[in-house]
């Protein structure tokens, strides 16, 4: 039996991830407002951050997103196989990337340089130009041509364009610290990128989509001295689609975003404990006073990050923090730490737990009073 089958045997409805596509659509509307007329590239890589790529892609496009973004060509082709015909850009290529399929199925390609010959071969094979977005490494140190490699790339690309093998639709870069708006590196990256774009135009290229901003870039643009230098022609937004804030000190609600995913389960156990009772591995948490502990049967094997101690768990109409370490398949909340829904800033919809059903082991009717 595979682990997937095991989980289903345990009852899929007892522990489920519920995705609210109306929230995704609401968020797209909000992000379009913030982007003030720029092209919105909805990033649906990694199965739309776990929310379901085809469903999220359709919802985002219906709400006004102009284009989709994926890491791998294979992810873009999977969208095509689902009948999604909108423009898609894929930017992370590996030895296994199928450039022929990408060109023939109209997938736009991020182009850093090393893959250029393979892309040109694919364009010849398909008998049509590959549509590319040149990627400039302005400081993240991952993909993209470095400033030293950039002039040579521009030269080769210009030649290929004149031979009808490439169409340069875009030029882009990716930011390293946009989620920490007080750091100076973002402005440095944008300045370096501006130089790179100027060089591309001087080399005879005519990109219509110049883009740099990810979610934190878009959300912080209004606070910058020159928002246009961040927003440019297009923004590539992932996290914001799903209603999450990239900033440690700012909630989604502050930006008008609504979290799209809820993890839902039923309480597995409830117990009364005295003051000083330890909770979970390492005993990193001890109860302040006599209280009641609730066992939630979700852990890091279910996708709850192991670092999510303190994360909000909604039980009934109150919110409780996870206390102690998150284990592989379970975590614990302390019922003495509850507050009403809406009383705190951090009420995401990350986790939701139904009160225990009366009569279950360890969760008698008495427990219902407390939760
Ligand atoms: C993942 C990714 C994004 C989206 O980032 P968010 O912070 O989730 O908006 C944008 N651009 C590139 C190149 C990415 O890899």
Question: Which pLDDT band, with edges at 50, 70 and 90, does 344 fall under?
Answer: low
- What are 16-27's pLDDT values in tens digits? 999 999 999 999
Cβ atoms of residues 196 and 173 within 8 Å: yes
**Which protein residues are within 6 Å of ligand 1, measured from CB?**
43, 45, 91, 174, 214-215, 236-240, 246
Instruction: Indicate whether 79 pLDDT > 50.
Output: yes
Instruction: Indicate whether 122 pLDDT > 90.
Output: yes
Question: Which pLDDT band, with edges at 50, 70 and 90, does 356 fall under?
Answer: low
CA-proximal residue: ligand 1, atom 4 (nearest): 238
pLDDT averaged over the chain? 91
Query: 91 in helix, strand or coil?
Result: coil
Average pLDDT of the segment spanning 236-252: 97
Question: Which pLDDT band, with edges at 50, 70 and 90, does 351 fall under?
Answer: low
Ligand 1 atom at minimal distance to the Cα of residue 216 = 7
Cα dihedral: 107, 109, 115, 118 (round 10) = 30
Ligand 1 atom at minimal distance to the Cα of residue 246 = 7
Does the pTM surpass 0.85? The reply is yes
Question: Which pLDDT band, with edges at 50, 70 and 90, does 13 fall under?
Answer: low
Question: Annotated active-site positions, please?
Answer: 45, 281
Cα dihedral: 77, 82, 85, 90 (round 10) = -30
CA-proximal residue: ligand 1, atom 6 (nearest): 238
Cα 264 to ligand 1 centroid, rounded to whole Å: 27
Cα 298 to ligand 1 centroid, rounded to whole Å: 28
Q: Give the span between the Cα atoms of 201 and 145, in whole angstroms.
A: 16
Q: Give the span between the Cα atoms of 195 and 146, in whole angstroms.
A: 12
Mutate-to-test residue for ligand 1 from 65, 68, 140, 174, highest number of ligand atoms within 8 A of CB: 174
Those residues with Cβ within 8 angstroms of residue 286's Cβ, 6 or more apart along the chain or in another chain: 276, 277, 278, 279
């Amino acid at each position: 039996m595979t682990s997937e089958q095991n989980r289903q045997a345990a009852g899929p409805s007892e522990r489920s991830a519920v995705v609210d596509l109306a929230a995704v659509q609401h968020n797209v509307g909000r992000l379009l407002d913030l982007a003030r007329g720029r092209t919105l590239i909805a990033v649906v890589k990694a199965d739309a951050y776990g929310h379901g790529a085809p469903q999220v892609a359709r919802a985002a496009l219906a709400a006004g997103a102009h284009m989709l973004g994926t890491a791998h060509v294979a992810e873009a082709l999977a969208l095509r196989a689902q009948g999604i015909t909108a423009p898609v850009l894929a930017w992370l290529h590996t030895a296994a990337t199928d450039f022929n399929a990408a060109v023939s199925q109209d997938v736009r390609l991020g182009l850093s340089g090393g893959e250029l010959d393979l892309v040109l071969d694919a364009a010849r094979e398909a008998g049509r130009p590959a549509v590319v977005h040149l990627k400039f490494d302005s400081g993240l140190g991952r993909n993209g041509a470095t400033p030293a490699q950039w002039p040579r790339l521009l030269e080769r690309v210009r030649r290929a364009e004149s031979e009808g093998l490439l169409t340069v639709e875009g030029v882009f870069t990716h930011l390293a610290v946009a989620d920490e708006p007080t750091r100076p590196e973002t402005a440095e990256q944008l300045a370096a990128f501006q130089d790179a774009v100027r060089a591309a135009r001087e080399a005879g290229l005519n990109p219509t989509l110049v883009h740099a901003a990810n979610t934190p870039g878009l959300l912080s643009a209004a606070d910058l001295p020159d928002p246009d230098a961040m927003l440019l022609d297009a923004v590539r937004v992932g996290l914001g689609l799903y209603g999450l804030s990239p900033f440690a000190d700012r909630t989604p609600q502050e930006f008008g975003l609504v979290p799209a995913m809820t993890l839902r389960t039923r309480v597995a156990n409830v117990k009364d404990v005295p003051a000083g009772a330890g909770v979970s591995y390492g005993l990193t948490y001890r109860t302040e006073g006599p209280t009641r502990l609730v066992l939630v049967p979700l852990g890091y094997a279910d996708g709850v990050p192991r670092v999510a101690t303190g994360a909000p768990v909604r039980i009934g109409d109150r919110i409780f923090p996870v206390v102690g370490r998150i284990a592989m398949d379970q975590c614990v909340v302390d019922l003495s730490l509850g507050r009403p829904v809406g009383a705190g800033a951090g009420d995401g919809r990350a986790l939701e737990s139904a009160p225990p059903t009366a009569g279950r082991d360890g969760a008698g009717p008495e427990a219902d009073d407390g939760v």
